Amino acid sequence: MPSPSIEWLTEDDVAAIAEELGSRYAGDPVQVMNSAPLDYAVRLEAVAYLYGDDLLRLAAIIFRTVIQGHPFQDGNKRLGMVLGTLFLAQNGLEITAPDEKYVSVAMDLASGRMRLEELVSWLELHTVRSTSVPKPCSNVGLSGLATTNHNIEPRRGGIDAGA
């Protein structure tokens, strides 16, 4: 059984981030086409007993489910990476990988080159306890995700590490 101290993503978190992505990238068609991956991400607690308190595995499931589940017409890698990173941040963890590696993971997940176990291993190598944990709250948005240093600007074919 998962720890009651795990902070789960909420529908409000997903809606706020989707709205912010939509306004930030107004030229991209960021609209929900398939809500199933988003529903699974916010209801992960219901099946979390299968994974115990393994925050990295739970985050990996969020990353993979959203990116490969294609809930949006465009912006799935951005959304998946932000939601997985938010889940980790809400639970006191921070991804330390440089932008290039962060973007590479998104691209590898989207193309199917990275499996769940590989993502968990990558997170084990690139995740640390955070010194600045955002309080779990609804409507945290991209700007409120202080522990994410990764610039996920759009480019043709995927996310870009930016400058």
What pLDDT is stored for residue 2 in this prediction? Answer: 55
Q: What is the pTM of this model?
A: 0.77
pLDDT value, residue 1: 53
State residue 41's pLDDT score: 78
Helix axes of 55-69 and 76-90: crossing angle, nearest 10 degrees: 160
Per-residue confidence (pLDDT) for residue 31, from 0 to 100: 66
Residues of the chain with pLDDT under 50: 133, 135-149, 151-163
DSSP labels, 91-160: TTEEE---HHHHHHHHHHHHHT-S-HHHHHHHHHHHEEE-SSPPPP-TT-TTTT-TT-----EEETTEEE
pLDDT above 70 as % of the chain: 69
Measured at the CA of 20, the angle between CA 18 and CA 26, to 5 degrees, comes to 95
Instruction: Out of 2.40.50.180, 1.20.120.1870, 3.40.640.10, 2.120.10.30, select the CATH number for domain 11-146.
Output: 1.20.120.1870
> Is residue 89 within a helix (H) or strand (E), and if so which, with residue range?
helix 76-90
**What pLDDT score was predicted for residue 62?**
94
Q: Parse the chain into domains and list their residue ranges.
A: 11-146
What pLDDT is attached to residue 79?
86
